[in-house]
């Protein structure tokens, strides 16, 4: 009908018609057409009363039929109510037919090209704390990767480790002094961290500094013994990371790291020099001018000098890594997930790539998130990811033991872990990623209200109802039983799911999906 009256092809109207958000206070229509999105001259800023008038006129030209049972004009919209039985039948048939792919197959995505994305996330530093920022990066990156895969895109998940640099000189010397091969094998992350803390206390000593420089120099020169110890640190750390990530439901296609790009970094420096982008300052440092007027009002440091030797900065290593990934994976987009304190770094990174003539820098994206304050475990501040997982599991187990409604479960520890993870993730995903928030165990683990615990609890109740009452596979249902307002609200809410997915896929914010689930 709209296509005929407005003289527009039907596919042009798909994005202009949306499901109406459900309201607890009143009954609402099912779909609405936004007038502004279909009027030719909406760029000239139609006044709202014109839009309202247009909406009224359009509503008068449309007729109710067997499908549409009500048409009304709203502020700048035309609202449609669908025949109630037809609504129930259409929604439920689609849910039954598509199962877990419901919403993903929507025509909203028909114009979105399938793409290949490289996503870099988590990226902890070996022998240093796995702080809460790494946890956020891990779950946000995993969400983005899962969402893209669900929507039919190809994804390469990369964990880019801090596995190189002067700190490995210190760590090497520290391990020779305080290290223990058995502890390294049984709990590498904890042992290397302890060694690093101990040697850092001694690092004021000039002798230790010299030894550390010496160890790192040998590492750079690929001295066999030194390299083999470093490789042990790296391999055993990755093994333990894999085990801990598994508890989070996270896996990676590639464990990359700064160590991979030591040689290619030199090539990148040469490229910068050949293109005339590298400038030397009086102090001997190397910079790339990023200012419009070429007056160094904005620049990025690519080489540092300590008087005796020149060091390449992380900027160069990241340039080398980006160029290598693009060559290797030929991807459509490259996404970096880190906290917002690194926004400048990535802005500079993408800018330099552009100056070097890499047009694909336009397709690189930094997804940044805010800081979390106040996450402590009973042992004090968070040092390892495992501390957080053990803490949340212990707290949920305790809550389960003291709650009257807890059923006997086969594996209480596993149940506590899953419920606890949902609690952590939902608390993290409720707001905009860029906002900072104050973490609270009590708030995260409440079993009522907008929490992950409540989502899991509701899901478990529905699951047990389904098992008690409906073992057999449904193919048809009597929609006449689903006419009361509550049932209609649920059906209307299900209508909106694809739009919510679409919105999250556009801005990569999980909060749209989370608030949708909490409303559901």
**376 band by pLDDT with thresholds 50, 70 and 90:** confident
Cα–Cα dist 276/259, whole Å: 27
Question: What does the pLDDT average to over 157-184?
Answer: 94
Calculate the average pLDDT of the chain: 92
Which of 95, 123, 479 shows the shortest CA–CA distance to 321?
123
Rounded CA separation 277/121 (Å): 29
- The two structure tokens encoding residue 181: 């091969």
Evaluate whether 80 touches 29 at the Cβ level (below 8 Å). Answer: yes
Residue by residue, DSSP assigns 363-428 as GEEEEEE--EE--EETTEE--SHHHHHHHHHHHHHHHHHH-TTPPP-S-HHHHHHHHHHHHHHHHH
> Are the C-beta atoms of 501 and 510 separated by less than 8 Å?
no
What pLDDT score was predicted for residue 133? 85
For the CA atoms of 458, 462, 465, 471, the dihedral, rounded to the nearest 10 degrees, stands at: -150
Active site residues: 128, 131, 134
Mean pLDDT across 480-498: 93
Mean pLDDT of 241-250: 94
pLDDT at 319: 97
Name the nearest CA neighbour of 116 among 349, 366, 335.
335
CA 104 distance to own-chain centroid: 18
pTM: 0.93
Candidate from 129-133, 143-147, 363-367 with smallest mean pLDDT? 129-133
Q: If residue 288 lies in a helix (H) or strand (E), which one and from where to where? A: strand 286-289
On the question of pLDDT at 186 being above 50, the answer is: yes
* DSSP percent split of the chain into helix, strand, coil, nearest 5: 55, 15, 30
Structure tokens at 30: 């099912």
Q: In sequence order, what are the residues at sequence separation of 6 or more whose Cβ sits closer than 8 angstroms to the Cβ of residue 118?
A: 155, 156, 158, 325, 329, 331, 333, 334, 335
**Continuous H helices in 179-205:** 181-186, 188-202
pLDDT one-digit tens code per residue, 325-350: 999 999 999 999 999 999 999 999 99
229, containing H or E segment: helix 224-248
Which phi-psi region, left, alpha or beta, contains residue 307 (left: φ > 0; alpha: ψ -120 to 50)?
left
The mean pLDDT of 168-182, rounded to a whole number, is 95
DSSP single-letter state for residue 12: G
CA distance 258 to 270: 18
* Span 283-340, pLDDT tens digits: 889 999 999 998 889 999 999 877 666 788 899 999 999 999 999 999 999 999 999 9
Residue 512: both structure tokens together: 């749209």
């Amino acid at each position: 009908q709209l296509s005929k009256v407005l003289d527009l092809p039907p596919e042009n109207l798909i994005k202009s018609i949306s499901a109406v958000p459900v309201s607890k206070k009143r009954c609402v229509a099912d779909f609405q057409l936004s007038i502004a999105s279909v009027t030719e001259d909406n760029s000239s800023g139609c006044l709202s009363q014109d839009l309202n008038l247009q909406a009224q006129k359009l509503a008068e030209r449309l007729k109710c039929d067997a499908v549409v049972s009500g048409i009304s004009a709203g502020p700048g919209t035309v609202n449609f109510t669908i025949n109630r039985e037809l609504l129930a039948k259409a929604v439920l048939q689609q849910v039954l037919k598509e199962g877990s792919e419901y919403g993903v197959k929507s025509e909203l995505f028909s114009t979105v090209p399938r793409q290949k994305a490289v996503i870099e996330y988590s990226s902890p530093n070996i022998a240093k704390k796995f702080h809460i920022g790494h946890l956020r990066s891990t779950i946000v990156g995993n969400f983005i990767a899962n969402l893209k895969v669900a929507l039919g895109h190809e994804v390469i998940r990369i964990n880019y480790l801090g596995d190189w640099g002067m700190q490995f000189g210190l760590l090497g010397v520290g391990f020779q002094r305080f290290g223990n091969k058995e502890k390294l094998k049984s709990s590498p992350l904890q042992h290397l961290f302890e060694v690093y803390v101990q040697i850092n206390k001694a690092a004021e000593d000039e002798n230790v500094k010299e030894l550390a420089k010496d160890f790192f120099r040998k590492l750079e020169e690929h001295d066999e013994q030194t390299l083999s110890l470093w490789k042990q640190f790296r391999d055993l750390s990755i093994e333990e990371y894999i085990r801990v990530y598994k508890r989070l439901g996270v896996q990676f296609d590639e464990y990359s790291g700064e160590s991979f790009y030591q040689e290619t970094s030199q090539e990148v420096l040469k490229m910068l020099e050949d293109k005339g982008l590298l400038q030397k300052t009086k102090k001997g440092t190397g910079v790339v001018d990023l200012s419009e007027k070429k007056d160094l009002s904005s620049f990025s440091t690519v080489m540092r000098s300590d008087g005796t030797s020149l060091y390449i900065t992380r900027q160069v290593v990241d340039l080398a890594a980006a160029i290598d990934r693009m060559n290797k994976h030929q991807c459509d987009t490259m996404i970096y997930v880190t906290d917002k304190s690194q926004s400048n770094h990535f802005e500079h990174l993408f800018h330099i790539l552009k100056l070097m003539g890499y047009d694909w820098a336009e397709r690189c994206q930094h997804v940044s998130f805010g800081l979390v304050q106040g996450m402590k475990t009973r042992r004090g501040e968070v040092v390892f990811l495992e501390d957080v997982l053990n803490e949340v599991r212990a707290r949920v187990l305790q809550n389960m033991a003291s709650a009257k409604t807890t059923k006997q479960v086969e594996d209480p520890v596993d149940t506590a872990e899953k419920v606890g993870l949902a609690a952590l993730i939902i608390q993290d995903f409720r707001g905009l990623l860029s906002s900072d928030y104050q973490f609270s165990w009590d708030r995260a683990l409440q079993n009522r209200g907008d929490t992950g615990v409540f989502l899991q609890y509701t899901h478990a109740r529905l699951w047990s109802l389904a098992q008690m009452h409906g073992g057999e596979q449904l193919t048809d249902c009597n929609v006449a039983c689903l006419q009361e307002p509550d049932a209609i609200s649920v059906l209307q809410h299900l209508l909106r799911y694809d739009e919510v997915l679409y919105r999250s896929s556009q801005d990569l914010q999980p909060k749209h999906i989370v608030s949708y689930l909490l409303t559901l």
